[in-house]
Amino acid sequence: MFAKVNSVGLTGLNAFPVYVEIEASAGLPAFDLVGLADAAVRESRERIRSALRTQKLDFPRSKVLVNLAPADVKKSGSVHDLAIAAALLCVSGQIDTARIEKAAFVGELSLNGEIRRINGVLPMTILAQKSMQEIYVPAENQLEASAVRGIKVYGVQSLSQLVAHLSGREEMQPAPEFTPSRADYISTLDFADVKGQSAAKKALEVAAAGGHNVLMIGAPGSGKSMLAKRMPSILPEMTFEEAIETTGIHSVAGLLDASHPLITTRPFRSPHHTVSSAGLAGGGTTPRPGEISLAHNGLLFLDELAEFPRPSLEVLRQPLEDMKVTISRVSGSITYPCSFMLIGAMNPCPCGYYGHPTKKCICSQHQVEHYLNKISGPMLDRFDIHLDVAPVEFADLSSGEKEESSASIRQRVQAARDIQNKRFAGTGITCNARITPELLHEVCPMTNSAEKMLGNMFDKLGLSARAYEKILKVARTAADMDGADVIDKPHIAQAVQYRSLDRKYWKS
């Protein structure tokens, strides 16, 4: 007897269809599995035998051959356990084969027949939705899968429950479509707690509105980390498409909370400076997403930037431009998206007081130059906004005046991002920082005075082509925040002001 059951495999974020073909024929009882399966897949034979036995279900007493097609694509993990078990139940006549023609099965079996949670259910369900009407997933993954529209999702707890449903004895109800609630910013740190630093707050507001990268330099205790950690509270809301993209990456990495299966607030990742290149970019024998991919559609904060190993920082250069990272191994290449805001914070020298208005720096000029040169010129050029964070004044610290809250800042940021969403609708561009070269001059029209000022600054400061583009994009964001269609002179002046640190600290 022959049967075929649909399943889904996963390589990185790329889901692909897998067809479990099974033949039960006369001969000595045997259970063989072919189709380029790794050790975890081959071990499913013992898990399935035990699961059927403990659930008091019949195992075919014949020669059973299972093929995982396509046979030239490697299958890994335990995600196909449920599909193989369903195929065995088909050939033994315990479930109705007609009911599973347009259904897909993914899940890991335990020895007692329960269905265990797996990673990557969201991208699997997205693929299944294109050609299937139903998908059967572990009960713990049910909420995650139900975020996908247009397919019935059944959360299965055990094999006996699946058999009862597919044989018509006890129908299961499909999971209702998951509707995410509005993002909750109440529990996040608030800008109202930061005394003073009005210039830094304004620059970070512009960065949040346009998705721009920021480098902050200042003495210890000036508030760099405090400011950066409050950035999530003013970032604009995620669109549903961004939420699905981000959740897919976290699903593959196994970082989703079962009770909150859809990520609706922008990720904030802050790895320690001892992180390796593979930890940042991703890697491993089976390549997993790194910090830059986990920060997709969100923010990556690198505190003590100069303490990060030089190779780790240089790994960021290409992903910052391409908004994707490709990890190559002998078995193949996997590409993860990584469109993120980068915020770096660092001291100006080893002791931290180089250029301080009142405290004396104890570092030699050589030590200062060596410390700053840990950040290469090309890496420095990839920051849209350079921010010199000055020490907080006593008058600001002792003032009883309330600072502006994150909620009111976020309203302005959201208004500017709404303008950008409307401007870039249908282009795949999500914010001003992602404007492509071919669209740059089309969406960044300038007045004559603004164009003249930018030309003068370009010659006077010796800007690179990349710096020119960064200034224009930041000026576009400044204009959006003023509700202006055309970039004017004050917007250019504001953007140029944010490109001063390389002249103050990295002197040629």
Q: Residue ranges per domain, the chain?
A: 2-166, 191-504
Count the Cβ atoms, other than its own, within 10 Å of residue 268. Answer: 20
User: Using one digit for the tens of pLDDT, what is the confidence trace for 16-43?
Assistant: 999 999 999 888 888 999 999 989 899 9
Does residue 12 come out as left (phi exceeding 0), alpha (psi in the -120 to 50 range) or beta? left
- Cα 173–chain centre separation: 32
Two tokens, residue 346: 């660092």
Distance of alpha carbon 25 from alpha carbon 62, whole angstroms: 6
- Count, in order, helices (H) and strands (E) of the chain: 22, 18
CA atoms within 13 A of residue 254's CA, in its CB half-sphere: 4
Average pLDDT taken over every residue of the chain: 91
Question: Rounded mean pLDDT of 209-236?
Answer: 93
Dihedral class, residue 56 (left if φ above 0, else alpha if ψ from -120 to 50, else beta): left
Residue 328 has pLDDT above 90, yes or no: no
Beta bridge partners of 300: 269, 342
- Give the Cα separation of 468 and 479 in Å (integer): 17
- pLDDT of the residue at 502: 62
d(C-alpha 1, C-alpha 377), whole Å:
67
Closest to 17 measured CA to CA, from 6, 2, 26, 25: 6
CB within 8 A of 322, min separation 6: which ones? none
pLDDT at 181 over 80: no
Which range, of 283-292, 305-314, 350-359, 494-503, averages the lowest pLDDT? 494-503
Q: How far apart are the C-alpha atoms of 215 and 210, rounded to whole Å?
A: 15
For the domain bounded by 191-504, which CATH number is listed?
A: 3.40.50.300
CA–CA gap between residue 100 and residue 20 (Å, rounded)? 12
- Going 372 to 377 to 381 to 383, the CA torsion angle's sign is negative
Q: What is the pLDDT of residue 495?
A: 93
d(CA 425, CA 410): 22
- Could you give the CA distance from residue 224 to residue 235 in angstroms, rounded to a whole number? 17
**3-state secondary structure at position 419:** helix
The region of weakest confidence among 133-137, 277-281, 285-289 is 285-289
Which residues, at least 6 apart from 306, have a Cβ–Cβ distance to it below 8 Å? 346, 347, 371, 372, 374, 375
Which has more pLDDT, 59 or 332?
A: 59
The whole-angstrom separation of Cα 261 and Cα 263 is 7
Per-residue pLDDT for 180 more than 80? Answer: no
pTM over the 0.75 mark: yes
Which residue bears the tokens 């995410």?
180
Question: Measured between alpha carbons, how far is 415 from 444 in angstroms, rounded to an integer?
Answer: 18
Q: Express as a percent the part of the chain with pLDDT over 70.
A: 97
Is the bond leading into 311 cis (omega within 30 degrees of zero)? no
- Residue (of 476, 471, 473, 477) closest to 497 by Cα position: 471
Confidence of residue 330 (pLDDT cuts 50, 70, 90): confident
Whether the pLDDT of residue 508 is over 80: the answer is: no
Given strand 152-156, what is the order of strands in its sheet? 30-34, 63-69, 14-25, 2-11, 103-105, 134-138, 152-156
CATH numeric code, 2-166 = 3.30.230.10
pLDDT 10s digits, 84-134: 999 999 999 899 888 899 999 999 999 999 999 999 999 999 999 999 999
Q: Comparing C-alpha atoms, which of 160, 218, 229 is closest to residue 194?
A: 229
Q: Write down the pLDDT at residue 271.
A: 96
DSSP letter for 472, please: H
What pLDDT does 178 receive?
85
3 state DSSP class of 165: helix
Please report how many Cα atoms fall inside a 13 Å half-sphere around the Cα of residue 100, on the Cβ side: 31
* Start-to-end C-alpha separation, the chain: 78
Distance CA 313, CA 58 (A): 57
**Encoded tokens for 41:** 């897949």
pLDDT band at 286 (very low <50, low <70, confident <90, very high): confident
Question: Has residue 182 got a pLDDT over 70?
Answer: no
Two tokens at 463? 């800007």
Of the ranges 57-61, 127-131, 424-428, the best mean pLDDT one: 127-131
Backbone phi, psi, residue 419, to 5°: -60, -45
Give, as one character, the DSSP assignment of residue 113: S
Residue with more model confidence, 356 or 485: 485
